Structure 1
Amino acid sequence: MPQKSAGLLIHRRTAGVFEFLLVHPGGPFWARKDEGAWTIPKGLIGDNEDELEAAKREAEEELGVTVDGDFRPLGSYKQPGGKIVIAWSVEADIDANAVRSNTFTMEWPPKSGTMKAFPEVDKAGWFSLPEAGVKILKGQRPMLDDFLERRSAE
Structure 2
Amino acid sequence: MTTTVSSIAELTALTGQHLGYSEWREVTQEQINTFADATDDHQWIHVDAERAAAGPFGTTIAHGFLTLSLLVPMWSEILHFEGVRLGINYGLNKVRFPSPVPVGSRIRAGAALVSVETVADGSFQIVVDFVIERDGAEKPCCIAEGLYRFYV
Q: TM-score, normalised by structure 1?
A: 0.26
In the superposition, the TM-score normalised over structure 2's length comes to 0.26
Instruction: State the structure with more CA Rg.
Output: 2
